[in-house]
Amino acid sequence: MSSADSVTAGLLVIGDEILSGRTKDVNIGATADFCTDLGIDLMEVRIVSDVTDDIVDAVNALRARYTYVFTTGGIGPTHDDITADAVAKAFGVALPINAQAREMLESRWKQTGTEVNEARLRMARIPEGADLIVNSVSAAPGFRIGNVHVMAGVPVIMRAMLEALVPTLRGGKKVLSVTIKAAVGEGTVGGPLGALQEQYPDVKMGSYPQMGHDRVMTELVLRCSDAAQLEEAANKVRAMVAEAHAKAGIAAPAED
Amino acid sequence: MSSADSVTAGLLVIGDEILSGRTKDVNIGATADFCTDLGIDLMEVRIVSDVTDDIVDAVNALRARYTYVFTTGGIGPTHDDITADAVAKAFGVALPINAQAREMLESRWKQTGTEVNEARLRMARIPEGADLIVNSVSAAPGFRIGNVHVMAGVPVIMRAMLEALVPTLRGGKKVLSVTIKAAVGEGTVGGPLGALQEQYPDVKMGSYPQMGHDRVMTELVLRCSDAAQLEEAANKVRAMVAEAHAKAGIAAPAED
């Protein structure tokens, strides 16, 4: 439920290795947690392959729609790393070697005795007008252009870049949440929960079946930026669950 | 690299719990592996929240573009389960209670002593003209309408539904892959690998840095549906890696 003053985000994950199943993505979950912590509503995620026009289309669709766009993947030194090219194309700007990025990289390479070559210098190519996103892990920078934040795909580097972004991002209202556990199935609480959702439209109510327990369990998650409204709705849900428990002959009250 | 006779797919993951970070998705990786095994090119993934119009837009975008669309999530009994409504809207058809689905569910509920109520019967609502996708785990069916396959979000149920689909899906050419390990950085192999990619345009070459090892490691992954071409290109890549190793004073040859 995004309102006029909410801060939203879209995430674009770039890489054939995710779509082939060879690499199992963990950046989506990390970005989701990051956004939730800052009160930013992550509204949409897309994963596309290493094809320039697909990246351009996705970047342009997401940057028009959300406050912030994050991308991960495709900024390394090999031919299949085309994210910088695609983002430059999406913004219609050139992609020169950036002096500051080159200096950062060469300084690191000097320390590690790494040869400077054309492939490695690809990582210093930054769209004109972009700011660098530094990371201490690999020294190869990401960049921000407009509302688009381009980050590495390697999870530890990506998370370092996210942390580096915190001071530059405007957080929305922090969203509070309450989780209520019910020892009955989703189908039992579905009707009364739907009625409570209508009664409290600003409290977003989700219902999630828990499999693999000895008994049927359902987790009800309530989210709202207003603490008083959230608590009032949560008390109604707790009472509803207690009633469902009583009807089913279960002694336990709703458990947070 | 999709050709005229390739079979493609798009995946749509539906659910606020993924975008908030509360649930970490595992269905994307499972679907990616499933498609790769069948020779289907998974081309794009989108994750959207429980908002009808967002689901409708994503379903319509993906079903126009790919041979198959898979969706996961949002087919349970609670008010936030709106995938069936959205897919019916996307296809412009009604969403009546399906007699066969109702029978499946009531038969299971009879066995387990589960009460039939309005919320549970939501799970028997199937778009007009759709076929059911059965699953033995929960008895609540998914469905296929046109090229869109609507599945549960709970991973064990989703995987059961994927397996149930196998006989109905047309597989593409099986894509073969070779992984070659290099004990040098991506920046070292980047130049010559790019040249080999140009020489073998039908062999898709990816380069992936391996972090967390004692020494720098890069995995080069070659994918192609033609075994002879793949092997020829792989031998060239092995020779290139061996040369890079020799130059760096590393005794080990390229390792598969």
Q: What is the DSSP string of chain A?
A: ---TT--EEEEEEE-HHHHTSSS---HHHHHHHHHHHHT-EEEEEEEE-S-HHHHHHHHHHHHHHSSEEEEES--SSSTT--HHHHHHHHHT---PBPHHHHHHHHHHHHHHTPPP-HHHHGGGB--TTPEEE--TTT---EEEETTEEEE-SSHHHHHHHHHHHGGGSPP-PPPEEEEEEESS-HHHHHHHHHHHHHH-TTSEEEEEEE-SSSS-EEEEEEEES-HHHHHHHHHHHHHHHHHHHHHTT--PPPB-
Distance from CA of A128 to the nearest CA of B (A): 23
By mean pLDDT, which of A169-173, A233-237, B28-32, B193-197 is the weakest?
A169-173
Instruction: Check whether B3 has a pLDDT greater than 60.
Output: no
Instruction: Check whether A115 has a pLDDT greater than 90.
Output: no
In this complex, do B187 and A221 lie within 8 Å of one another by their Cβ atoms? no
Tell me, yes or no, if A189 comes closer than 8 A to chain B by beta carbon: yes
Give the residue-averaged pLDDT of B37-60: 96
Percent of chain B at pLDDT > 90 equals 73
**B50 contact residues in A (CB cutoff 8 A):** 206
The pLDDT score that the predictor gives to residue B253 is 65
* Amino acid at the residue B194: G
Tell me, yes or no, if B72 comes closer than 8 A to chain A by beta carbon: no
The pLDDT score that the predictor gives to residue B136 is 75
Give the residue-averaged pLDDT of B186-203: 94
Closest to A17 (Cβ–Cβ): which among B43, B47, B208? Answer: B208
In angstroms, how far is CA B240 from the centroid of its own chain? 33
Give the residue-averaged pLDDT of B7-14: 97
> What's the CATH code, domain B7-168?
3.40.980.10
Closest to A49 (Cβ–Cβ): which among B21, B43, B79? Answer: B43
**A112 contact residues in B (CB cutoff 8 A):** none
pLDDT band at A167 (very low <50, low <70, confident <90, very high): confident
What would be the CATH architecture of the domain defined by A8-168? 3-Layer(aba) Sandwich (3.40)
Instruction: Check whether A234 has a pLDDT greater than 60.
Output: yes
Distance from CA of A143 to the nearest CA of B (A): 20
Asked if A140 and A76 count as a contact pair (C-beta separation under 8 A), the reply is yes
Q: Which of A67-71, A171-175, B180-184 has the highest mean pLDDT?
A: A67-71
The pLDDT score that the predictor gives to residue B2 is 45
The pLDDT score that the predictor gives to residue A245 is 94
Measured CA to CA, the distance from residue A89 to residue A96 in angstroms comes to 13
User: What's the residue count for chain A?
Assistant: 256
What does the pLDDT look like over A5-58, one tens digit per residue? 689 999 999 999 999 999 999 999 999 999 998 999 999 999 999 999 999 999
Tell me, yes or no, if B154 comes closer than 8 A to chain A by beta carbon: yes
The pLDDT score that the predictor gives to residue B254 is 67
In this complex, do A211 and B156 lie within 8 Å of one another by their Cβ atoms? yes
**B19 contact residues in A (CB cutoff 8 A):** 32, 41-45
Instruction: Check whether B243 has a pLDDT greater than 80.
Output: yes
The pLDDT score that the predictor gives to residue A213 is 62
In this complex, do B45 and A46 lie within 8 Å of one another by their Cβ atoms? yes
Distance from CA of B113 to the nearest CA of A (A): 11
pLDDT band at A2 (very low <50, low <70, confident <90, very high): very low
Closest CA to A100 of A60, A143, A41: A143
What does the pLDDT look like over B101-157, one tens digit per residue? 999 999 989 988 888 999 999 999 999 999 999 887 888 999 999 999 999 999 989
Tell me, yes or no, if B235 comes closer than 8 A to chain A by beta carbon: no
Instruction: Check whether A154 has a pLDDT greater than 50.
Output: yes
> What's the CATH code, domain B176-247?
3.30.70.1130
Give the residue-averaged pLDDT of B190-197: 95
In this complex, do A78 and B54 lie within 8 Å of one another by their Cβ atoms? no
Closest CA to A155 of A9, A15, A19: A15
Distance from CA of B193 to the nearest CA of A (A): 8
Asked if A82 and A95 count as a contact pair (C-beta separation under 8 A), the reply is no
Residue reference for tokens 């439209």: A201
pLDDT band at B215 (very low <50, low <70, confident <90, very high): confident
* Amino acid at the residue B83: T
Domain ranges within chain A, ordered by starting residue: 8-168, 176-247
pLDDT band at A215 (very low <50, low <70, confident <90, very high): confident
The pLDDT score that the predictor gives to residue A6 is 87
Scanning B3-62 for CB atoms below 8 A from A yields 13, 16-26, 28-29, 32-36, 41-50, 54
Percent of chain A at pLDDT > 70 equals 95
Distance from CA of B145 to the nearest CA of A (A): 23
Closest CA to A58 of A9, A14, A21: A14
Closest chain A residue to the Cα of B190, Cα to Cα: A78
Instruction: Check whether A85 has a pLDDT greater than 60.
Output: yes
